[in-house]
Amino acid sequence: MLNKFFTSFLWLSIFTGQFRFSTRAQWPCLLGLATALTTGYATTAGAAEAPRIAVVQTERILREAAPAKAAQTKLEQEFGKRDKELQDLGVKLKQASERLDRDSSVMAESERARRQREVADLDKEFQRRQREFREDLNQRRNEELSQVVERVNRVIRQIAEQEKFDLVLQEAVYFSPRIDLTDKVLRALTGAK
């Protein structure tokens, strides 16, 4: 601590011009003193314990974790019926369009116009329902995902505190399997319902 104070004071005095030399012969002495103090500070800082770092693979956790799978199953059950109805409406629209294309050459003009309106109305209905379905599904997926992410973050924080990690990163270009916490997080999420 004292080294740090003297080094900071010395450099501050030099750069602000408050430190005066009476002769040029004092420069080498001053630089030697500054180097010694700085080196002493650097070695004491280097002697401190290195931070403990870990990595988690978030994408893998959100794909393999039990809570994430449960949320996906819940969404499939909740939206399965609407998805089936939407698929059925799409098939009905396709059949009506194919029928219109196939039979339009033998239909009266008024019948063709009526069927074209029916196909256009059916298409509008299909587009509307599809848009509503996507919006509802995305909203619910985001709600479920936020709950899962909150739970995952809580487990990661708990493991990091227990094992005294200073920093936990999500994803990295390269990391050693030795610092990968993903499996521990997955086990903790499976065990803690």
User: What pTM does this model have?
Assistant: 0.62
* Cβ–Cβ under 8 Å, residues 133 and 33: no
Q: How high is the pLDDT of residue 192?
A: 59
Per-residue pLDDT of the chain (193 residues; tens, 9 = 90+): 434 444 444 444 444 444 454 444 444 444 444 444 445 544 445 556 889 999 999 999 999 999 999 999 999 999 999 999 999 999 999 999 999 888 888 888 888 899 899 999 999 999 999 999 999 999 999 999 999 999 999 999 999 999 999 999 998 899 899 999 999 999 999 885 5
Please give the C-alpha separations between residue 47 and each of 1, 40, 50, 105, in angstroms, as whole numbers: 14, 11, 8, 89
- Number of H-type helices and E-type strands within the chain: 6, 2
* Cβ–Cβ under 8 Å, residues 126 and 118: no
CATH superfamily of this structure's domain 54-191: Skp domain (3.30.910.20)
Domain ranges of the chain: 2-48, 54-191
Instruction: Give the span between the Cα atoms of 60 and 57, in whole angstroms.
Output: 5
